[in-house]
Copies of this chain bind each other. A is one copy, B any other.
Amino acid sequence: MKKRILISDIAKALGISVTTVSFILNDKAKEKRISEALTKRVLDYVKKVGYKPNELAKSLRTGKTKILGLIIEDISNPFFGNIARLIESKVYEQGYRIIYCSTNNDVEKAKELIQMFYDRQVDGFIITPSDGLEDTVKQLQQNNIPVVLFDRYFPGLETDYVGADNFQGAFDASNHLCQQGYRRIGFVSLYSDQTQMKERSDGYMKAMDNNKQQSFIQKIQMDASDEEAMELLREFICENRLDAVLFSTNYLAISGLKASKKFNFTMPAVIAFDDHTVFKLVEPAITVVSQPIKDIAENLINILLLRLQGKIKATRRMVLPCELKVRESTKVKVTS
């Protein structure tokens, strides 16, 4: 267990002051008019002995930790998992690290986590806010901590935000179903005030209206068990004799598939929001509204990094287009 080498060790070894070494290591040699000769000497020596500054001390002094907090709904959901992975590798290149936690849509947990991260002085946040988190986010902003929301936002709060065009996505999907000739088209959503759900719901309704179709809407409790969800879905689909269903999330669609398997009813045409491996492999493969995951991740961190550098002042709301990936589940045209 060899002792860590310190900046003072370097100064001593080279017979110069700690300040000088610090300036050089922080690329302020020019600005502080350190001679090139000395600069080189220091740099060479530092490389030779493999000195790495103590990040804690650095953070304590500068107030910056170079750590970003990622608060997401559920890391084990591939949609969020993929975004997390992309974000992680992007910020990594910029010298930032992320520290993350899942909220599972529990406000209290989310609040606690944010407080925790704040106490640990993360430099900024990326958050998928659960219902009721508005005040907490506002507080962060008041404390000048950069926050970028994603997947959903608070209509009454000026925040940076990146998300998909949920309305358009749901609208296109619903329209597609109408065009394929389906007539009894259901929509499955959650009891939640989150904006993405509202937008998807609005998109569906608008399409139904435009096509002069009746709407069938079933909402599920966010904390419902898989069993409860399955039972509700069976009833919703069978009792209403639906010939198509738009699910507002991938896991709701998966519950639907499980239900059809368990209760042994044939699934009508299905479209799901957010892709998932399951949907490509199931028979028939399921049409999805796919969010531009890569774009979302990139924009999230671009905005956050600009904020951190103080390069933007106005809030940015980015809405990125979804793509309808048509697969077998909606290809069969129903002739009425």
Contact = CB atoms under 8 A, between A and B. Distances in A.
Interface stretch (A9-17, A51-59, A168-176, A187-195): A51-59
Q: Most chain-B Cβ atoms within 10 A of its Cβ — which of A60, A76, A116?
A: A76
A88 B258 CA distance: 28
Contacts of A1: 142-144
A288 B88 CA distance: 31
A74 interface: yes
Contacts of A40: none
Nearest to A60: B56
Interface string A248-282: 00000010011001000000000000001110111
Contact of A82 (B76, B85, B92, B282): B76
Contacts of A78: 76, 78, 81
A254 B283 contact: no
A119 interface: yes
A281 B282 contact: yes
B75 A102 contact: no
Given A1-B144, A76-B78, A261 B281 contact: yes
A257 B283 CA distance: 11
A102 B85 contact: yes
Interface string A42-69: 0000000000101111011000010100
A28 to B, nearest CB: 21
A138 interface: no
B92 A85 contact: no
A326 interface: no
Contact of A81 (B76, B89, B101): B76
Interface string A105-119: 000000000001001
A121 interface: yes
Interface string A81-93: 1101100110010
Interface of A: 1-2, 52, 54-57, 59-60, 65, 67, 74-76, 78, 81-82, 84-85, 88-89, 92, 97-102, 116, 119-121, 142-144, 254, 257-258, 261, 276-278, 280-283, 285
The 5 closest A-B pairs by CB, nearest first: A76-B81, A56-B60, A99-B99, A278-B278, A76-B82
